[in-house]
Amino acid sequence: MTATGDTVTGDADIRDAATGVPAAIELVGVAKDYQSRGRAVPAVSRVDLEIRSGEFFSLLGPSGCGKSTTLRMIAGFEEPTRGRILLQGRDVTAVPPNRRDVNLVFQSYALFPHLDVAGNVAFGLRRRGVKGRELRERVGSMLDLVELSELADRRPRELSGGQQQRVALARALVNRPAALLLDEPLGALDLKLRQTMQIQLKAIQREVGITFVYVTHDQGEALTMSDRIAVMNGGRVEQLASPRDIYERPRTRFVAGFIGTSNLLRRTVRAVDAAGPDGRPTVVLDAGVEERLSAPLHPQTGPLRAGDQVELTVRPEKIEMSATRPDGPGCALRGRIVEVVYLGTYTTYTVATHGGNEITVFWQNSTGASNIAERGDEIWLSWLPEHSYVLPESVDLPEADDQPEAIALPAAVALPEAVALPASVDPAEAVDPAAGTSTDPVAYRVSH
Amino acid sequence: MTILEATPARLDPAGDGRSRSGRRGGRLGERLLHAYTWLILLWLVLPIIVMIVFGFNDRVGKRNNTWNGFTLRWWGELFAIPDLTTALVNSLTIALLSTAVATVLGTLMGLALGRHGFRGRGGVELLMFANIAAPEVVLGASLLSLFITMGVPRGYLTILIAHIMFNISYVAVVVRARLAGFDSSVEEAARDLGAGPFTTFRLVTLPLILPGVASGALLAFAMSIDEYVITTFNAGSTLTFPLWVFGATRVGVPPQVNVMATIIFVVGVLLALGNALLLRRRRI
């Protein structure tokens, strides 16, 4: 049921609709305003999400992006100002938290200090009227799962941070909720323990098969564990995709900058080639003599014309360095090395290009790899065009862009999206990448 | 070079000597501190010790202020003075009732002040501290004029009302202080795990603030049992223990008073010890 790397999210949605399995959690136009000095300050503005049953879903973003508020709205601690929240198809927008079939793992763990570990874990079951042998068995097996059986009669104060974290997890999981909500649960742990817990969490999720909704500001954490990630910024979802898609094909400048290290090159479009070297639509950007900058044109990018300002991103580990210009139709830039930092498994080179950009390169220190260049050396940088990604100059995506359906639809149905283009763009001239599948070369041959 | 090498050698014995003399000075300071501490403690407990001792005094005549030999007679004749017994019963029941009512109301008030922001919170807080800070004579007199205006006959009930009034603030202040480090996410956790608002209060909030509530109740009981000034304004013809004792000073305080006071003191100390143990056990 989870999306694989390249599947466009819409396909899976349609499949879900066909099998009739309702989404575990659905947010429809959810927004939350806070009142501050009589003014409404938006914390979350219009979020539409569909979280599938059984998936590990992450809400990723910097602090203040609205991810925790979104999670607290799902848990029922905040009431949305607008929009609806559905759990397994049932509208729960007005249902109090104690009558929602979800459980939250708090960032501070929020363990009951006056109860021992077993008492903490049994709390939810007792409220549901589970008692006697069933209670003991379920608490016992849950403590086994998180490897805390030995500490069942300890108070939370007597436990280490990692143990407290596992109690919090057990206390929520033992109720077998429809979805488990986790609010930065590993934030208070040190790095080593956090990495161990990431693997454990993922293993536990696979074992119990419960939908996990995980809030984090740590991109590594989200990439490690998630089936799908929603990257949030400024109260909105900037991109919703698999970890690989988020990393390899960031759709906005924010996503490119927030996830991993990205090189951003601001350039002018020289030409748009409907059938590039590999037969796919390609955009060629301004570059110096002998240099070449190109990138495949994706439907999400929106229409582009020669003369448009765009930003091109390329990941530091995708770039090759060589003393002479490499052959082939790939991207190639010349520059001078201004900084070399040795970091053990790899070395980072900072290269000043002749176009005035600074590009970071991660060079793997594998066997046989020698120190390829020194500070001050002239060098050629090259990478495959499919490893670079063009972002439109304006970061503001159209409203419909947050909805994955729009991307997956066949070209003919995508017309409404084309209508939504800015008025200044002549539809006849504009390259509509969504029409790419219709193999109409004329549409791409535009003003050079 | 030679100076540099010589310096540590010359400094070493000197430093050693200084540290030894320092230790000697420390011992003297320590002794002074001990003496000072014991003097302060003596100052605090001496009146109580005298009170307890004179409960065992085989007194001659009306005055009980010269030691005349050991006896357990007053412990046996504890309730031999009917008026004193009535006054003690009045004081104990008023203290228990006012503590019970003030603990409930004061805890709710402390929770409201400590947990919620609401219009007029600053005003309520000011009122609460004003109640504690105001001279008792002012409270007593103003309460008396209120009762007279409203035509309420002074007696047991008016004493009880007066004691509840000043006790609410003490309980509220203690409970509010207890809430300072309270992590309200445990209440959210309880809600999340299926507990309704009342169950959450009963199973999570109350157990966590219980030490504060107990401290507040103890304080209220202690305030009430020995209250004199406000009580004397509003007592009418009813007598409480402090009122009776004060009245008796003119003719001589009977040793039974010492015995009763000893019992109240010991019970109070035991309750405070119990509360301290409760607090310590919870902290682990």
Confidence of residue A145 (pLDDT cuts 50, 70, 90): confident
Q: Which residue of B has its CA nearest to A99?
A: B194
What average pLDDT is seen over chain A? 80
Range in A25-34, A349-358, B142-151 the model is least confident about:
A349-358
CA distance B193 to chain A (A): 5
The answer to whether residue A429 scores a pLDDT higher than 80 is: no
* B20 or B49, higher pLDDT: B49
The answer to whether residue A314 scores a pLDDT higher than 50 is: yes
Q: Residue A111 and residue B195: Cβ atoms within 8 Å? A: no
What average pLDDT is seen over chain B? 86
Q: Residue A123 and residue B193: Cβ atoms within 8 Å? A: yes
The predicted structure's pLDDT at residue B87:
92
Range in A214-223, A256-265, B54-63 the model is least confident about:
B54-63
Q: What integer is the mean pLDDT of B217-238?
A: 91
Q: In chain A, where are the structural domains located? A: 9-101+177-254, 261-390
Fold of A261-390: OB fold (Dihydrolipoamide Acetyltransferase, E2P) (2.40.50)
Residues of chain A contacting B181 with CB distance shorter than 8 Å: none
Rg (CA), chain B: 27
The predicted structure's pLDDT at residue A85:
94
Q: Residue A112 and residue B195: Cβ atoms within 8 Å? A: no
CA distance A165 to chain B (A): 14
**Cβ of B117 under 8 Å from any chain A Cβ?**
no
The predicted structure's pLDDT at residue A287:
83
**Cβ of B282 under 8 Å from any chain A Cβ?**
yes
Report the first-to-last Cα separation within chain B, whole angstroms.
59
Q: What integer is the mean pLDDT of B244-257?
A: 87
The answer to whether residue B110 scores a pLDDT higher than 80 is: yes
The answer to whether residue A7 scores a pLDDT higher than 50 is: no
The answer to whether residue B17 scores a pLDDT higher than 50 is: no
The predicted structure's pLDDT at residue A72:
94
Q: What percent of chain A has pLDDT over 70?
A: 81
Q: Residue A112 and residue B190: Cβ atoms within 8 Å? A: yes
Mutate to test the interface with B, among A108, A112, A139, A153 (most CBs of B within 10 A): A112
Alpha helices in chain B (DSSP H): 2-53, 73-76, 82-115, 121-133, 136-150, 156-178, 185-192, 197-200, 206-225, 229-234, 241-248, 255-283
A49-98 pLDDT, tens digit each: 999 999 999 999 998 899 999 999 999 999 999 999 999 989 999 999 99
Q: What integer is the mean pLDDT of A127-151?
A: 91
The predicted structure's pLDDT at residue B25:
60
Q: What integer is the mean pLDDT of A151-176?
A: 92
Confidence of residue A414 (pLDDT cuts 50, 70, 90): very low
CA distance A414 to chain B (A): 42
The predicted structure's pLDDT at residue B173:
93
Contact A335, A351 (CB under 8 A): yes
- Report all structural domains of chain B as residue ranges with CATH numbers, in order of start: 82-253 (1.10.3720.10)
The predicted structure's pLDDT at residue A277:
67
CA atoms within 13 A on the CB side of B114: 23
**Cβ of B190 under 8 Å from any chain A Cβ?**
yes
Residues B136 and A143: their CA atoms lie apart, in Å, by: 58
Residues of chain B contacting A103 with CB distance shorter than 8 Å: 192-193
Confidence of residue A396 (pLDDT cuts 50, 70, 90): very low
Q: What is the ipTM of this complex?
A: 0.70
Beta strands A90-91 and A236-241, pairing class: unpaired
Q: Please tell us whether the domain made up of A9-101+177-254 is placed in CATH 3.40.50.300.
A: yes
The residue written with tokens 């439109």 in the block is A392
